[in-house]
């Protein structure tokens, strides 16, 4: 992240997300909030790094995206430029304030970064959040790749400042996670340290119906003026011959693909290329002017046919008849990411020129599938193992309601303990509904510590209020592990590395009225099995929710902390004389550090072993032993490590 503070006038390699952060600093963002979520996380990590060294801007990891956006709105209403960053599904969580702020407007710049995930590389769906811009009357700025990310965020802030209106910056996985050379400008030190003052404006900032009705009229009128203004926006331009009958429209990242496809087919001098960096609202005047000279239009955009649909609407209104191709009827598919091959093939089909896609070389060897697995030493593995044994002992038919986090991998063999995964907090929410409708089954909601604070609390309150017979298992690994070890409200460390208040999950649960709350050592399988059994018996007998917190640090975080502190952990080995080749450790427990030898007996890869000692607990033949006695300090770190 150091490159975010590169000297002005430098040309440095930056991740697209870091470039977005740098652009915000150059504009002068004074407040930045977020909830971590791939592919958006590095934006706030870079801003956090800058804040630690510069003393500004104010940066926070918020408890969820709704809170993050509300904080950014509050800062903007107080007169300082603000930005809230989140992944695309996080905007769903923040949708309530998102729609309202469009009515209110803001006296200072407000940018909402939506990092969409075409192809669902790390998400449960593939939504296109440009549609939120249409629905909420909020303009959308979309960079044409990582190269334009820094400029695009600056332009988004400028657009927001000009109109006193929030702006969405829509990025994608390919933009945020590509490294490119970026030219740096001056960081606005005065701007990032700016403090504001809230000026009361009750009729604008209090959305009671009487005020909101007037603001709705203003919003619709302002929307049309913004649309007119975007026709000359610097992120929109046209290339190629004016008399070309083929108009190619490249929106955002689609522009890069379209430009390369034209070059590959030798059509640069035969087609007009319209680059759209403000897809919502579509600059209608510019589109109508260019389309009026064309016979065919080919629209290239990532996600849904948002630009294509707006073009059709505009041309229908203007009674312009032209053949339009894109995603609605093809030739580009509506699912997954754009690729140069599918854009080139689609363009060739529309242009009527021959094209044969290059065939990928055949691999010399066929690689076996490598599904993702929990890390060696992950406390979740021990918890899953203990919970499964307790379920069998209690003779209950479980429904495992899963959630979003590393523990989502519990859906895979051998555990298969995630029967549902919907969204953040959905484990407790779905368990609420099932607990009152199933017969002979017990819902078990499995949720992580960060997710618990993000969206688990309302569901838990509902479970207590409605006496839902369920078991809630909170996997407390002391961090937001899946997105890269960010802190959360239960850690006591802020995004800037400063001390913060640590909210205890146990206290929160008891405060909500949960009567049965227990804490277990996530690495202690015997203890876990016993406590899970008792909790299940309580649920069966009392018909109320029970909650068990399984505490044990993310093993990767523990190792990182131990290395900083100069503490070494001890790897384990196998006594082959005691091993019976039962396979329990590498089949039922599925530790990636353990593998079978030719004789079926277990072996441990010392490069993968993390010294957790879980294998020694599950082996019925006492075949696993540490190479040397584990240091007490390592055993402590393994259970208590947190982001530093």
Question: Mean pLDDT by 10-residue block, N- to C-terminus, for the chain (644 residues)?
Answer: 94 97 98 97 97 97 97 97 97 97 97 96 94 98 96 98 98 96 97 96 96 97 96 96 96 97 96 98 96 97 97 96 94 93 96 88 78 93 97 97 95 95 96 96 97 97 97 96 94 93 97 98 97 98 98 96 95 97 96 96 97 96 96 95 87
* Same domain for 388 and 269: no
Which residue bears the tokens 């006594």? 575
- Residue 427, domain extent: 379-553
Q: Which residues contact 598 (CB under 8 A, 6 or more apart)?
A: none
For residue 318, give the CATH number of its domain. Answer: 3.40.50.920
| Structural domain contains residue 592 | yes
Q: Tell me if 564 is assigned to some domain.
A: no
Average pLDDT, the chain: 96
Together in a domain, 154 and 225: yes
Token duo for residue 300: 């290239």
What total of structural domains would you count in the chain?
A: 4
CATH for 581: 3.30.70.20
Within 13 A of 193's CA, how many CA atoms are on the CB side? 8
Strands (DSSP E) contained in 123-187 are 140-141, 167-172, 179-183
pLDDT for residue 370: 78
- Taking the model in full, what pTM does it have? 0.93
If you ran DSSP here, which 8-state letter would residue 493 be given? B
Among residues 103, 100, 79, 109, which one has the least CA distance to residue 222?
103
- In this prediction, residue 110 carries a pLDDT of 98
Structure tokens at 175: 């933009």
Residue 175 covered by a domain: yes
Residues 340 and 386 in one domain: no
The whole-number pLDDT of residue 359 equals: 82
Per-residue b/e over 398-432, b at no fewer than 16 CB within 10 Å? Answer: bbbbbbbbbbbbbeeeebebbbbbebbbbbbbbbb
216 with 316, same domain?
no
Q: How far apart are CA 126 and CA 136, in angstroms?
A: 19
Specify if 358 maps to a domain. no
Preceding amide of 205 cis, omega within 30: no
Same domain for 270 and 147? no
**Are 34 and 107 in a shared domain?**
yes
- Nearest Cα neighbor of 126 from 331, 308, 253, 303 is 303
Residues 78 and 101 in one domain: yes
């Amino acid at each position: 992240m150091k490159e975010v503070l590169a000297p002005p006038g430098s040309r440095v390699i930056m991740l697209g997300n870091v470039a977005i952060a740098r652009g915000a600093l150059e504009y002068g963002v004074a407040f930045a909030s977020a909830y971590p979520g791939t592919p958006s996380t590095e934006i706030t990590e870079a801003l956090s790094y800058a804040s630690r060294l510069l003393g500004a801007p104010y940066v926070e990891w918020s408890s969820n995206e709704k809170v993050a956006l509300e904080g950014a709105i509050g800062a903007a209403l107080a007169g300082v430029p603000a930005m809230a960053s989140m992944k695309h599904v996080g905007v769903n969580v923040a949708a309530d304030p998102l729609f309202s702020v469009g009515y209110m407007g803001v006296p200072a710049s407000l940018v909402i970064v939506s990092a969409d995930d075409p192809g669902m590389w790390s998400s449960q769906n593939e939504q296109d959040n440009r549609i939120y811009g249409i629905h909420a009357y909020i303009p959308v700025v979309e960079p044409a790749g990582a190269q334009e990310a820094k400029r695009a965020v600056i332009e988004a802030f400028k657009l927001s400042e000009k109109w006193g209106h929030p702006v969405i910056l829509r990025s994608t996985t390919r933009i945020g996670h590509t490294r490119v050379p970026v030219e740096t400008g001056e960081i606005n030190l005065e701007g990032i340290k700016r403090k504001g003052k809230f000026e009361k404006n009750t009729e604008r900032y209090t959305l009671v119906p009487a005020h909101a009705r007037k603001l709705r009229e203003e919003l619709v009128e302002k929307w049309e003026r913004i649309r007119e203004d975007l026709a000359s926006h610097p992120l929109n331009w046209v290339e190629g011959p004016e008399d070309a009958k083929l108009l190619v429209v490249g929106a955002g990242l689609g522009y890069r693909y379209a430009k390369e496809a034209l070059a590959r087919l030798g059509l640069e001098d035969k087609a007009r290329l319209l680059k759209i960096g403000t897809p919502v609202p579509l600059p209608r005047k510019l589109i109508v002017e260019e389309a009026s000279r064309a016979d065919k239009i080919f629209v290239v955009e990532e996600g849904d046919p948002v630009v294509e649909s707006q073009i059709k609407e505009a041309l229908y209104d203007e009674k312009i008849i032209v053949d339009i191709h894109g995603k609605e009827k093809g030739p580009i598919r509506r699912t997954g990411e754009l690729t140069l091959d599918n854009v080139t093939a689609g363009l060739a089909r529309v242009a009527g020129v021959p094209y044969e896609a290059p065939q990928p070389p055949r691999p010399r060897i066929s690689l076996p599938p490598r599904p993702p697995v929990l890390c060696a030493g992950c406390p979740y593995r021990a918890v899953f193992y203990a919970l499964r044994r307790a379920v069998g002992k209690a003779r209950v038919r479980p429904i495992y309601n899963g959630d979003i986090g590393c523990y989502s991998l519990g859906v895979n063999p051998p555990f298969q303990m995630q029967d549902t995964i919907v969204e953040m907090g959905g484990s407790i929410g779905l368990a609420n509904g099932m607990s009152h409708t199933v017969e002979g089954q017990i819902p078990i909601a499995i949720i992580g510590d960060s997710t618990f604070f993000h969206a688990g609390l309302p569901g838990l309150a509902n479970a207590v209020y409605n006496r839902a017979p369920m078991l809630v298992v909170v996997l407390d690994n002391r961090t937001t592990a899946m997105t890269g070890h960010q802190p959360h409200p239960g850690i006591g460390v802020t995004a800037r590395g400063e001390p913060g208040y640590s909210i205890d999950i146990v206290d929160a649960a008891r405060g909500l009225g949960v009567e049965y709350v227990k804490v277990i050592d996530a690495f202690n399988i015997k203890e876990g099995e016993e406590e899970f059994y008792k909790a299940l018996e309580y649920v069966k007998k009392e018909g109320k929710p029970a909650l068990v917190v399984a505490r044990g640090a993310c093993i990767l975080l523990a190792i990182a902390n131990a290395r900083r502190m100069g503490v070494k952990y001890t790897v384990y080995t196998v006594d082959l004389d005691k091993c019976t080749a039962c396979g329990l450790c590498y089949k039922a427990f599925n530790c990636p550090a353990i593998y079978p030898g030719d004789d079926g007996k277990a072996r441990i890869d010392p490069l993968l072993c993390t010294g957790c000692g879980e294998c020694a607990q599950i082996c019925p033949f006492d075949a696993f032993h540490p190479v040397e006695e584990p240091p007490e300090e390592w055993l402590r770190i393994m259970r208590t490590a947190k982001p530093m």
